[in-house]
Chains A and B, each alone.
Chain A
Amino acid sequence: ILNVEQSPQSLHVQEGDSTNFTCSFPSSNFYALHWYRWETAKSPEALFVMTLNGDEKKKGRISATLNTKEGYSYLYIKGSQPEDSATYLCAFVDSGYSTLTFGKGTMLLVSP
């Protein structure tokens, strides 16, 4: 059983704050790490697919980094806005499998 942990479980910030959360995954047999954003009553939506150690991806105010040797990825949101409120999921892909193992997610609430 692959263990994918996300922390914190939930986070409440004020509009304009920058924030970050963590995804931890097995450091062996790494193939890829996915990040998804899931707004309430909507579909999960892919943010990033990361495959290279040291990779850094950016989409607007959201960015992610990847450390495959130590088994973690950070997701950063700069200047949080209320529309960033969502659950952020990471998913690990083992080199021996083709499917994703998800973490439980970090629920972010941004207050105006």
Chain B
Amino acid sequence: ETGVTQTPRHLVMGMTNKKSLKCEQHLGHNAMYWYKQSAKKPLELMFVYNFKEQTENNSVPSRFSPECPNSSHLFLHLHTLQPEDSALYLCASSQTVGRGEKLFFGSGTQLSVL
């Protein structure tokens, strides 16, 4: 069992759909993150949760809505997305939100918005 598990691996949705991405970590970490990887761009931080509290929202549009019910689970709720939101969405965790803490990543959800 991998440390950070993301589902689904692939998702195709229309612009009017509502879907959710799920992330689960089995490492006992207290911090969880959502990153976006678009073609030709570096990994972009979207949201950070530390001990279930959102500590950072990196100017992400409201059509992306995160939820962290506990330290092990993180969701990203998607609604009325645009085609330019098509990307790889990566979840990560770390022991805490600390500057020297290395991140443990999931394999990502490849999202296509039609």
Q: Is A64 an interface residue (CB 8 A)?
A: no
Query: From DSSP, what is the main secondary structure of chain B's interface residues?
Result: loop
Number of interface residues of A (CB under 8 A): 26
Task: For residue B83, give the distance in angstroms from its CB to the closest CB of chain A.
Answer: 22
* Residues in B whose Cβ lies below 8 Å from that of A46: 102-104
Interface members, chain B 41-60 (any A CB < 8 Å): 41-43, 45, 48, 56
Q: Is B32 an interface residue (CB 8 A)?
A: no
Q: Is A32 an interface residue (CB 8 A)?
A: yes
* Residues in B whose Cβ lies below 8 Å from that of A103: 42
Residue of A nearest to B56 (CB): A99
Q: Which of A10-18, A36-44, A54-62, A70-78 contacts B (4 or more CB under 8 A)?
A: A36-44
Q: Is the CB of A49 within 8 A of B90?
A: no
* Residues in B whose Cβ lies below 8 Å from that of A42: 107
* Residues in B whose Cβ lies below 8 Å from that of A101: 42
Q: Which of A36, A43, A104 has the most CB of B within 10 A?
A: A43
Q: Is A95 an interface residue (CB 8 A)?
A: yes
Q: List 13 A-B contacts (CB under 8 A).
A: A4-B42, A43-B2, A43-B4, A43-B105, A44-B105, A46-B103, A49-B100, A89-B42, A91-B43, A99-B33, A99-B97, A100-B45, A105-B42
- Kindly list 20 other residue pairs between chains A and B, CB separation below 8 angstroms, not including A31-B99, A43-B90, A97-B99: A32-B100, A34-B102, A36-B105, A41-B107, A43-B2, A43-B105, A44-B103, A44-B105, A46-B104, A95-B99, A98-B97, A98-B98, A98-B99, A99-B45, A101-B42, A103-B42, A104-B40, A104-B41, A104-B42, A105-B42
